[in-house]
Amino acid sequence: MTGWLAVAGLGPGDASLITPEVSAALSDATDVLGYAPYVGRVPAREGLRPHPSDNRMELKRAADALKLAAEGHKVVLVSSGDPGVFAMAAAVFEALEASPEWQDVAIRVLPGVTAMLAAAARAGAPLGHDFCAVNLSDNLKPWPLIEKRLRLAAEADFAIALYNPRSVSRPDRLGRALEVLGEAGCGKRMVIFASAVTTPKERVEIVSLQDARPEMADMATLVIVGNSATRRVGRWIYSPRHAP
Amino acid sequence: MTGWLAVAGLGPGDASLITPEVSAALSDATDVLGYAPYVGRVPAREGLRPHPSDNRMELKRAADALKLAAEGHKVVLVSSGDPGVFAMAAAVFEALEASPEWQDVAIRVLPGVTAMLAAAARAGAPLGHDFCAVNLSDNLKPWPLIEKRLRLAAEADFAIALYNPRSVSRPDRLGRALEVLGEAGCGKRMVIFASAVTTPKERVEIVSLQDARPEMADMATLVIVGNSATRRVGRWIYSPRHAP
Among the partner residues A16, A103, A129, nearest to B234 by beta-carbon distance: A103
Among the partner residues A89, A107, A125, nearest to B109 by beta-carbon distance: A125
The pair phi, psi for residue A9, each rounded to 5°, is: -105, 130
For residue A172, the model assigns a pLDDT of 86
**CB-CB under 8 Å, A122 with B241:** no
Among the partner residues B87, B111, B233, nearest to A113 by beta-carbon distance: B111
Asked if B66 and B31 touch (Cβ cutoff 8 Å), the reply is no
Interface probe for A, chosen from B137, B233, B242 (most Cβ of A below 10 Å), is B233
For B59, the closest chain A residue by CA position comes to A241
pLDDT tens by residue, B64-99: 999 999 999 999 999 999 999 999 999 999 999 999
For residue A1, the model assigns a pLDDT of 55
> Distance from CA of residue B208 to its chain's centroid?
23
| CB neighbourhood size of A67 (10 A) | 18
CA distances from A157 to A75, A115, A185, A217, B131 (A): 42, 21, 10, 23, 14
Q: Does A91 touch chain B (CB under 8 A)?
A: yes
For residue A171, the model assigns a pLDDT of 75
Question: What would you report as the CA-atom Rg of chain B, rounded to the nearest whole angstrom?
Answer: 19
Among the partner residues A86, A142, A157, nearest to B243 by beta-carbon distance: A142
Overall average pLDDT of the B114-131 stretch: 98
- β-strand partners of B31: B49, B75
Alpha-carbon torsion, ordered B84, B192, B176, B174, to 10 deg: -50
Which residues of chain B make contact with A135, given a CB cutoff of 8 A? Answer: 129-130
Q: How far is A130 from chain B (nearest CA, A)?
A: 5
Which residues of chain A make contact with B120, given a CB cutoff of 8 A? Answer: 84, 109, 111
- β-strand partners of B55: none
> Distance from CA of residue A1 to its chain's centroid?
33
Q: Does A138 touch chain B (CB under 8 A)?
A: no
**CB-CB under 8 Å, A18 with B90:** no
Distance CA A175, CA A182 (A): 11
Complex ipTM above 0.85? yes
**CB-CB under 8 Å, B152 with A156:** yes
Query: What is the DSSP code string of B201-243?
Result: T-EEEEEEGGG--GGG--TTEEEEE--TT-EEETTEEE--SS-
Q: In this structure, which amino acid lies at residue A217?
A: A
Q: Does B195 touch chain A (CB under 8 A)?
A: no
Q: What is the pLDDT along chain A (244 residues), one digit of tens a residue?
A: 589 999 999 999 999 999 999 999 999 999 999 999 999 999 999 999 999 999 888 999 999 999 999 999 999 999 999 999 999 999 999 999 999 899 999 999 999 999 999 999 999 999 999 999 999 998 889 999 999 999 999 999 999 999 999 877 777 899 999 999 999 999 999 999 999 999 999 999 999 999 999 999 998 999 999 999 999 999 999 999 998 7
pLDDT band with cut points at 50, 70 and 90 for residue B230: very high
Which residues of chain A make contact with B227, given a CB cutoff of 8 A? Answer: none
Distance CA A190, CA A207 (A): 6
For residue A161, the model assigns a pLDDT of 98
Overall average pLDDT of the B1-21 stretch: 95
Distance CA A34, CA A57 (A): 9
pLDDT above 70: residue B1: no
Asked if B225 and B160 touch (Cβ cutoff 8 Å), the reply is yes
